[in-house]
A and B are shown apart, each in its own frame.
Chain A
Amino acid sequence: MEINELIVEKIKNFSPNAIEETSDFRSDFSLVIKKDELLKVAEFLKADPDLLFVQCKDVTAIDWAKRKNRFTTVYHIYSFKLNKILRLKVNLGEEPQVDSVVSVWQSANWYERETWDMYGIKFLNHPDLRRMYMPEQFEYHPLRKDFPVMGIPGSIPLPSGPQKD
C-alpha cells in the first residue's frame, strides 16, 4: 500500500535506525520502533505536514510471559489527513520502562496510567503516574500473566459485613 510505504520512508529519512520491523496483518499496519527512538518518532509523526498523526487512540501493553523481552507497549495513533490508524510497538528489555508520550499526545495520560496500573510498566517523565483502577496501595499488577484470574486472597480487604450477634 502506498500510504504504508510513505510512512516508512518518511521515518527512515528522519531517523534511519528507528524501525526494527514492519508488519501488515489483516490490513492493520504496524511498526516496531526502537525503545530509545520512540519519543522522537512520535513527535515527528505528529508534526510532519504530510502525516499529521494528531490523535492517540490507545496505549496498552502485551505481556508475553516467557519471551526474553517480556513486555511490548502498543500505541494506536490516528491521522485525520490520511484517514489511517497506525500501530506502533515498542519491545521493552530487562526493565519494564519506556518514555512517556504525554508531551506529544495529551490523551496518552490516562492510557499510560491504565497501562502502569495493569502491567506495572513505568512511563518515564509522566506528569501524574497514579493507578487508574486499582487502589493506590495495591501491590500487584492484575493483567500480568503471573497474576491469577481468581485474584490473590487478602490482597484487598473486603468490606466488613453486617454484624452477627
Chain B
Amino acid sequence: MIDVHNDEKLLKALFEQDTDITIEDALENEMVINMGPQHPATHGVLRLLLRLDGETVMSIVPELGYLHRGYEKMAESMSFNEYIPHTDRLDYTATMCNNVAYVLAVEKLAGIEVPTRATYIRMIIAEISRIMGHLVAIGTFAMDVGAVTMVLWSFREREIIQNIFDRLAGARFTTSYTRVGGVASDMDDVAIEMTHGMLKDIEDALFEYEKLLNSNRIFVDRLEGVGILTKEKAIDLGITGPNLRGSGVQYDVRRAKPYMFYDKMDFEVPVYNEGDCLARYFVRVDEVKESIKIIRQCLNQMPKGEIIINSPKKVLSHKAEIYTKMEELIHDFMLINFGIHPPEGDVFFSVENPKGELGFYIVSNGTGHPWKMKIRSPSFCNLQAIETICKGQMISDIVAIVGSLDPVMGEADK
C-alpha cells in the first residue's frame, strides 16, 4: 500500500528552485505554506506550495491532479459520438466551446462537411459561451481581490445565457449540444429573440461593470503592475488566449487559422502591452464586446436550412428517418455499435476558447474508437506561468495572479 500523503519530492522541488530574489531585511527563518487544494481563491482544486520570507514569495510549486478523471484514457474505449458529453466537463464555465472544438476535430479527421446553418449556430453558441466564460472569469477575479458585488452581478447575466442554452439544448449547464456533422436541435425564433435580448442585457451590464471597476481606485491600485508576464516569457511558456494577448502578442486562433466562418466576420483582437493582472482583465472585457459583435453578425447572416448533414454512413440520422427508412436504420445500428470509422491517421485541431487555445490531437487506427486522444488544455498550459510570475511577489498578490490567469481545474486536470 502506498502513502499518498508523502510530500517529500514536492518539498524537495520547492527548495531546489533557484531564487535570485534579494530582500532588504531578510528574516532568518523561511516559512513553507500550503495553499489549497480547498482554498476558495484557487478556482477549484489547485494546490500551491509557497516558500516565504516574511511576506515575499521565494519559490512556488503548483501541484495538480486533484481533479484528474482520466478523460484521455476513457476516450480510448468510447466511440466518437459517445465522448461528446465528456467534453462538457473540461472547461465547465464555457461548455459549448468544448463541444464545438471536439466535433470540429472529429470532422477534420473523418472528413465530414457541415451544413452552413449548423456552422453559424455553432459560431453563435461558441461566442455566447465565450461571454459566459469571461463573465465567470471577471466576476470571480474581482471577488478574489475584494469586489464581491461583481460575482453576484456577473452570475446574474450568466443566468440569462443559461436560459438560452436551456431552450437550445434542454440543459442549462451540461449542454452536449453539438453532434458530429451538425448540431442537436435547430435554433428557433424564440431562441434568436432571446439571444438578441441577451446581447442588449450584456451590453448594459458591461457598462455597469466598467463603472464599478475601471475607475475603482482599490481595484486598479491592487492590480496595476502586479504579476507582470513579459512577451518573450509568455511565448516561451506556451501561454495562449487572453493571458498572451495581455502580454502584447496579437495571436488569436480565430484570426491566425480561421475555422468555421471567422474569416468572414468583422472583429478586433484586443491586445494590451502591460502584461500585468489589470491588462489581462481589460482583454477579457474587450473580448466580450467583440463576441457581441460577432454574434450580431452571425444572427444577421444565418441562412435557413439543414442543421445536420444527411450522410447516414458517418453521421447519426434523425429519428424520424431511422423509423421509416431501411438504410438509415442499418447505419444507425452500425454507428451506435461500432462507431464512425475514420481513415487511419492523426490530426491536431485547435480552436480559441475563453481560456486559450484548446486543441485535440486524435490518432485513429481506422476503427470506431480513437487509438489515442490528447487534449491540449489551455488552463494547464497557462498555469505553468505561475512559477515565473509569482516569484518575488507578495503572498496576498498570489490570489490576484491566480485569478487573473483564470485557470479552470476541470480542464487543467482532464
Contacts and interface: CB of A to CB of B under 8 A. Distances in A.
Interface of A: 25-26, 28, 30, 54-58, 60, 62-63, 74, 76, 80, 83, 85, 87, 105-107, 109-111, 114, 118, 128, 130-139, 142-143, 147, 149, 154-157
B236 A54 contact: yes
B74 interface: yes
A107 B381 contact: yes
B407 interface: no
B4 A135 contact: yes
Contact of B1 (A26, A110, A157): A157
Contacts of A128: 13, 16
Contacts of B6: 136-137
14 contacts: A25-B346, A57-B376, A58-B348, A60-B374, A62-B363, A74-B346, A83-B257, A107-B381, A107-B384, A128-B16, A136-B9, A136-B10, A142-B73, A149-B77
Contacts of B70: 142
A60 B361 contact: yes
Interface of B: 1-4, 6, 8-10, 13, 16, 64-65, 68, 70, 72-74, 76-77, 108-109, 111, 235-238, 249, 251, 256-257, 345-348, 350, 357, 359, 361, 363, 371-372, 374, 376, 380-381, 383-384, 413-414
Contacts of A137: 2-4, 6
Contacts of B413: 133
Contacts of B345: 25-26
A26 B357 contact: no
Nearest to A76: B348
A139 B347 CA distance: 31
A63 B348 contact: no
B361 A76 contact: yes
A28 B346 contact: yes
A132 B8 CA distance: 15
A143 B238 contact: no
Residue among B10, B65, B383 with the highest chain A CB neighbour number at 10 A: B65
A28 B68 contact: no
Contacts of A111: 238
Given A26-B345, A60-B374, A107 B237 contact: yes
Contacts of B77: 149
Given A25-B347, A80-B235, A155-B2, 16 more contacts: A25-B346, A26-B111, A55-B238, A63-B372, A87-B346, A106-B237, A107-B238, A107-B384, A111-B238, A128-B16, A130-B9, A133-B413, A136-B10, A137-B4, A143-B372, A149-B76
Given A60-B374, A83-B256, A157-B1, A133 B68 contact: yes
Nearest to A109: B384
A22 to B, nearest CB: 14
A110 B388 CA distance: 13
A114 B238 CA distance: 15
Contact of A85 (B111, B348, B381): B348
Contact of A157 (B4, B363, B381): B4
Given A110-B381, A157-B2, A28 B347 contact: yes
